[in-house]
């Protein structure tokens, strides 16, 4: 439907300024509406869904525009745009939003017709010939001003008419729905009950609303419409139309009698509504029993796949659900054993693929550069090799990649460790095109992995090998840098010098063990030098140091003020964030196997710390640092 809306129907929209951005709309009077003859216009779609009503109004508007009938076209455009407003039935506080947002513009929202236009619509809403139109117009008019309670009453009746029409098939389901589906009753019931709560005293439910919800509930129960049953049961209990005891009995019977092959997630929801109903009745044992049954449905999801990684995922999910339930100790132990089996088998599911990448020309250029370069100048060049794109550049890049592969961006990702365990999850790109911070970091980590490979294999390693062919680099060559840098805390200079020496020598296993754990302490050190407190006080008043993850959360702004936003973002992606390499945690807890020390991310991490150490010295590099390095390497270059 969205692609059938004219661009002229979109209005400019600035974030946070929807009202100010909407241009003035011509007032459609009651007389203009009366002359439009909506009954004749909508007769052809009297038994259709709301999308068909909007499409019919839009088509009639086009005919009126071509005929030069401006009043009729404006009236039809108004109703078509109202029908195009998206409804969020689960959000009672803000149930309406623009259905289409594109290039800084959007389709209509209720705010666009607030005031006099809403008052005119409130006066004529009862005369509108189609229940979809009466429901939407009455609902939005009341949303704009609570004084139009009569319009809300009209909307309530219209929503009930729509729901009953779906049950007796006098209103056809949406084309996207299966012919026997009654999912279309959920939205009108949700809006009818919400409007009832806003316009009536608590417990004062109109007979029509009660009867309609009960009829839909009975139809969902009899037809085994599991998802619809749950949604209607929730509405009924919340608004006092259905008794919790009735829902508990019906839900248990419905779930227990589900035939083999029924989608387990749907049955699980039924068990959960049964459990919550028992909770309302203070039947704790019955609620616990139903939640155990719900967790067993989670386990049935693993039977839908023959992949061990997927089976491990569902087993882990069921363990999480059972963990707090009484009487499940033996079952949990059994599931833990099964989980370990699936995780071990999951390693066979993972394969590898190669992407051709020709770095030969880059290597030749780097080797030529380092043939006659001094050691001091080489250190500067290594610093630039370990730089990453700025935070904004990285975000722009991953957004552009997501636009090129929208389907891939819409799918969330799971990351597994060497033992087949799910170690991290990355969210999908939201449908509104506004990614979360974790999405940016996860996609940034993926893109950084490619950049790090290019930097390490194409630049850092060729440069290092070219340099060590001419000089045997030892700790004494790096000690002047460690001693002069404010990034190195007192007493840590020999550790940094040894780590850098092993890094230049290509012994990344030793370098990583020496350097990676030092990053956290160095960040605390520069915070203290800047008169910022990186410590924490426990509940027992014992004072301790914040770990890297806490520093990047609590002290992030202070670190950005010292190091810059781009550097802190890179530290987060490289050393802390999962699904990034999380080098600090992996190294500190002994989780890096031998081969991981020679992976491009670990190598890049070591050189990154070298760059952080050199960075504060560049303003005095040529005058103070370079002579010291030249003295140490005199006669070797």
109-124 pLDDT tens trace = 898 888 899 999 999 9
- pLDDT tens across 175-184, in order? 777 767 888 8
Q: 186-200, 562-576, 580-594: lowest mean pLDDT where?
A: 580-594
- Please name which of 93, 157, 172 lies closest in space to residue 125, comparing C-alpha atoms: 157
With beta carbons less than 8 A apart as the criterion, state whether 596 and 418 touch.
no
- pLDDT tens across 443-486, in order? 777 888 888 888 898 889 998 988 888 888 889 889 999 999 99
Instruction: Identify the band that residue 15 occupies on the pLDDT scale cut at 50, 70 and 90.
Output: very low
Domains of the chain by residue range: 1-199, 360-632
Count, residues in the chain: 637
For the cut 50, the answer to whether the pLDDT of residue 5 exceeds it is no
CA distances from 291 to 259, 281, 296 (A): 19, 15, 9
Indicate if the alpha-carbon torsion angle 361, 363, 369, 371 is positive or negative.
negative
- Give 4's contacts (C-beta < 8 A, 6+ positions apart): 55, 58
**In the block, residue with structure tokens 């009341």:** 142
- pLDDT tens across 542-553, in order? 556 788 888 888
Q: 23 or 391, which is more confident?
A: 391
Q: 23-27, 154-158, 314-318: lowest mean pLDDT where?
A: 23-27
With beta carbons less than 8 A apart as the criterion, state whether 118 and 142 touch.
no
- Report which secondary-structure segment, H or E, holds 185: none
Percent of the chain with pLDDT over 90: 39
Paired tokens of 559? 């670190």
Instruction: Identify the band that residue 2 occupies on the pLDDT scale cut at 50, 70 and 90.
Output: very low
Give the C-alpha separation, 161 to 153, whole Å: 13
H helix intervals, 456-595: 461-468, 475-484, 493-505, 508-515, 518-529, 548-554, 556-563, 565-571, 583-588
For the cut 90, the answer to whether the pLDDT of residue 637 exceeds it is no
pLDDT score, position 543: 54
Which string of DSSP letters, residue by residue, matches 6-49? -GGG-EE--TT-HHHHSPP-PPPPHHHHHHH-HHHHHGGGTTS-
With beta carbons less than 8 A apart as the criterion, state whether 256 and 226 touch.
no
Instruction: Identify the band that residue 267 occupies on the pLDDT scale cut at 50, 70 and 90.
Output: very high
Instruction: Identify the band that residue 411 occupies on the pLDDT scale cut at 50, 70 and 90.
Output: low
Strand partners, 545: 535
- Please name which of 562, 569, 581 lies closest in space to residue 392, comparing C-alpha atoms: 569
- Mean residue pLDDT across the chain: 84
- Please name which of 444, 450, 445, 442 lies closest in space to residue 393, comparing C-alpha atoms: 444
| Angle (nearest 5°) at CA 381 between 379 and 383 | 70
For the cut 80, the answer to whether the pLDDT of residue 40 exceeds it is yes
Q: 101 or 69, which is more confident?
A: 69
- Cis previous bond, 579, omega within 30: yes
- Report which secondary-structure segment, H or E, holds 537: strand 535-537
With beta carbons less than 8 A apart as the criterion, state whether 351 and 345 touch.
no
Instruction: Identify the band that residue 355 occupies on the pLDDT scale cut at 50, 70 and 90.
Output: low
For the cut 50, the answer to whether the pLDDT of residue 332 exceeds it is yes
């Amino acid at each position: 439907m969205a692609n059938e809306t004219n661009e002229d129907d979109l209005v400019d929209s600035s974030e946070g300024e929807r009202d100010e951005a909407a241009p003035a709309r011509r007032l459609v009077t009651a007389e203009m509406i009366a002359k439009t003859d909506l009954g004749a216009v909508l007769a052809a779609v009297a038994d259709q869904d709301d999308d068909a009503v909007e499409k019919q109004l839009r088509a009639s508007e086009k005919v009126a525009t071509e005929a030069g009938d401006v009043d009729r076209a404006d009236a039809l455009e108004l109703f078509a745009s109202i029908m195009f407003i998206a409804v969020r039935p689960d959000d009672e506080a803000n149930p309406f939003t623009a259905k289409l947002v594109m290039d800084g513009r959007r389709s209509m929202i209720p705010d666009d017709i607030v005031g006099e236009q809403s008052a005119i619509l409130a006066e004529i809403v009862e005369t509108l010939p189609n229940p979809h139109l009466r429901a939407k117009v009455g609902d939005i008019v009341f949303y704009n001003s609570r004084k139009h309670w009569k319009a809300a009453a009209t909307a309530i009746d219209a929503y009930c008419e729509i729901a009953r029409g779906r049950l007796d098939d006098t209103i056809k389901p949406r084309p996207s729905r299966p012919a026997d589906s009654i999912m279309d009753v959920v939205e009108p019931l949700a809006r009818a009950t919400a409007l009832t709560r806003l316009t009536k005293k608590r417990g004062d439910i109109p007979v029509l609303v009660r009867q309609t919800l009960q009829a839909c509930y009975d139809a969902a129960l009899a037809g085994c419409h599991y998802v619809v049953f749950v949604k209607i049961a929730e509405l009924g209990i919340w608004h006092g139309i259905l008794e919790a005891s009735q829902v508990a009995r019906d839900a248990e019977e419905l779930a227990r009698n589900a035939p083999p092959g029924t989608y387990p997630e749907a049955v699980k929801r039924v068990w959960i509504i049964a459990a919550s109903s028992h909770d309302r009745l203070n039947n704790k044992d019955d609620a616990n029993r139903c939640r155990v049954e719900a967790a067993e449905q989670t386990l049935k999801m693993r039977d839908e796949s023959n992949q061990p990684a997927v089976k491990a995922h569902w087993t882990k999910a069921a363990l999480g659900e059972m963990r707090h339930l009484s009487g499940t100790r033996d079952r949990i132990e059994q599931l833990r054993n099964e989980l370990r089996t699936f995780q071990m088998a999951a390693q066979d599911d993972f394969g590898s693929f190669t992407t051709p990448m020709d770095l030969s020309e880059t290597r030749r250029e780097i080797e030529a550069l380092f043939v006659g370069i001094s050691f001091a100048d080489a250190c500067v060049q290594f610093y630039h090799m370990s730089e990453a794109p700025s935070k904004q550049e990285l975000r722009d890049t991953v957004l552009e990649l997501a636009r090129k592969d929208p389907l891939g961006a819409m799918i969330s990702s799971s990351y597994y460790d060497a033992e087949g365990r799910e170690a991290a999850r990355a969210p999908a790109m939201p449908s509104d095109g506004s990614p979360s911070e974790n999405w940016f970091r996860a996609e940034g980590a993926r893109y950084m992995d490619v950049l790090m490979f290019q930097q390490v294999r194409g630049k850092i390693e060729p440069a290092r090998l070219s340099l060590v062919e001419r000089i045997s680099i030892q700790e004494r060559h790096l000690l002047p840098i460690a001693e002069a840098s404010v990034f190195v805390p007192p007493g840590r200079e020999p550790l940094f010098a040894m780590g850098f020496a092993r890094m230049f020598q290509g012994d990344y296993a030793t370098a990583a063990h020496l350097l990676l754990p030092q990053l956290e302490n160095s960040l605390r050190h520069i915070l203290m030098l800047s008169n910022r407190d990186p410590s924490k006080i426990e509940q027992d008043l014992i004072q301790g140091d914040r770990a890297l993850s806490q520093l990047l959360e609590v002290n992030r702004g202070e670190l950005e003020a010292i190091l810059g936003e781009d550097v802190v973002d890179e530290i987060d992606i490289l050393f802390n964030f999962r699904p990034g390499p999380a080098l600090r945690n992996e190294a500190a807890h002994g989780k890096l196997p031998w081969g991981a020390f020679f992976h491009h991310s670990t190598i890049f991490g070591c050189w990154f710390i070298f760059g952080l150490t050199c960075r504060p010295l560049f303003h005095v590099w040529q005058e103070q640092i370079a002579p010291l390095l030249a003295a140490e390497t005199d006669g070797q270059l």
